[in-house]
Amino acid sequence: MSMSLPDGKEIRPVRFAREHIGQVAELERRFFSEPWSESALSLLLTEEYPSFVLVTDTGEVVGYISAQRALDELQIINLAIREGYRGRGFGVMLLETAEAYCRGEEIVSLSLEVRESNSAARGLYKKQGYREAGVRKNFYRQPTENAVVMIKNLI
Ligand SMILES: CC(C)(COP(=O)(O)OP(=O)(O)OC[C@H]1O[C@@H](n2cnc3c(N)ncnc32)[C@H](O)[C@@H]1OP(=O)(O)O)[C@@H](O)C(=O)NCCC(=O)NCCS
């Protein structure tokens, strides 16, 4: 699975590795009110946290999906695409990468929380077949906001 951009850049998903920590930490700080630090992100190097990045052929991280495995379920922690690369299907590519991993590992469902006001992300998850399974009141800080829980079953 890879995608070519009009400027010739080739973008492909790879497993999150130590060399990606700095760029992912920068994206975390840019997009999330409670970002994971570089040392927290090193957790994602372990088998319990199967996580993926989209990279260009020159090693730029275009986006990433962090996740934690809990038995036969994958809990998506965060997902983001760098601003200049949005609206081209890379969000879909990240979710499909995580799903392909799950199918190879006999993981039967994916779940996540998303801010109620985040219509872009909610639109992405809905398009990919996630259903709304409930609301966690005041789940987020800075600003305080409800989370919508979304789930996709693979079987
Ligand atoms: C949410 C996010 C990952 C989407 O990434 P993306 O690469 O732009 O998404 P895609 O191009 O794959 O879009 C797929 C679908 O998502 C939905 N979508 C994406 N951006 C949208 C927007 N701004 N408004 C409404 N729906 C949107 C659409 O349904 C779209 O399908 P379409 O192109 O057929 O209309 C990106 O906006 C982002 O990084 N946001 C900041 C971080 C964030 O909020 N992460 C979610 C944490 S839970």
Backbone angles phi, psi at 67, to 5 degrees: -155, 155
Q: Which residues of the chain have pLDDT under 50?
A: none
**Residue 135: predicted pLDDT:** 98
Give me the residue spans of the domains in the chain: 3-153
pLDDT at 121: 98
**CB of 109 sitting under 6 A from ligand 1:** no
Task: Evaluate: CB of 120 within 6 angstroms of ligand 1.
Answer: yes
Task: Name residues whose C-beta falls within 8 Å of residue 13's C-beta, 6 or more positions apart in sequence.
Answer: 1, 2, 52, 53, 54, 55, 93, 94, 97
> Looking at residue 105, what is its pLDDT?
96
Whether ligand 1 lies within 6 angstroms of the CB of 82 is answered as no
Give the separation between CA 17 and CA 19, rounded to whole angstroms.
5
Q: Which of 124, 149, 150 to mutate to test the pocket of ligand 1 (most atoms within 8 A of CB)?
A: 124
- Token pair in block for residue 1: 């699975």
Domain at 3-153, CATH class = alpha beta
Residues with a catalytic annotation lie at 113, 125
